[in-house]
Amino acid sequence: MLNILNFLFTGVKCLETRKRRRPSGGSRRLLPYVPCDDPQRRLEQMASLATADTSIGVEFVDFLSYRLTPRSSNRADSERGGMQVMCKEDKATLDLCKTMCSHGEWPPLMVTHDSRQGFVFEADRNIKDMTIIAKYTGEVDYMCRRQYDSGNSIMGLLFSDNPVKELVICPDRRGNIARFVSDINNHLP
């Protein structure tokens, strides 16, 4: 009888512990991408990016470039409403993806040319939801300098209460595969 009570008590304790450890709000963690195992296919994927970058005159970089603005202008305390903090597990996933990229293990993506949209990328295999596929890179510039820019791949980086301090990432001269994520060519030939 005592063993049964101990078993039941232990079971209840485990359930309570499990409930407490569950993340609140149903938050989900980021996943690292799974690179292609086939070295030949991986070369084809990288060649598709190199071809696209070369044909539009973009230099490949995998970091933010601060040639147009000082690095000190990208300050978390300038973000309107505060900066979202990445949890430890998601930061580790991002670091793993950066390490894989530095070893030539890229996400399974192919850059293709679409007659209506220009260059776009396509998944070369199934990619799970919440998977990191690329970090947006390019030149950091002030939004006030780019508000009439004809570029179609500009992404917001920092939104400030002071519009003069707002920053964008411009991959028109330097960038990576992320510039092709939702690249829509607004100019028909």
Q: Give the pLDDT band (50/70/90) at residue 148.
A: confident
Q: What is the DSSP letter of 137?
A: -
What mean pLDDT comes out for the span 36-65?
A: 92
Residue with the larger pLDDT of the pair 72 and 120 = 72
Residue ranges of domains in the chain, CATH in brackets: 36-180 (2.170.270.10)
The terminus-to-terminus CA distance of the chain in angstroms comes to 83
Residue with the larger pLDDT of the pair 140 and 153 = 140
Checking 79-83 for CB contacts under 8 A at 24+ apart, the result is: 79/158, 79/159, 79/160, 80/159, 80/160, 80/161
What percentage of the chain carries pLDDT values higher than 90? 46
Which residue intervals of 22-170 are DSSP H helices?
39-56, 88-102, 143-146
pLDDT at 1: 42
pLDDT at 185: 43
- 79 phi, psi to nearest 5 deg: -70, 125
User: How many angstroms separate the CA atoms of 168 and 137, rounded?
Assistant: 10
pLDDT (tens digit, 9 = 90+) per residue, 128-142?
A: 999 999 889 999 999
User: How many angstroms separate the CA atoms of 96 and 102, rounded?
Assistant: 10
What mean pLDDT comes out for the span 54-72?
A: 92
Q: What pTM value is reported for the model?
A: 0.75
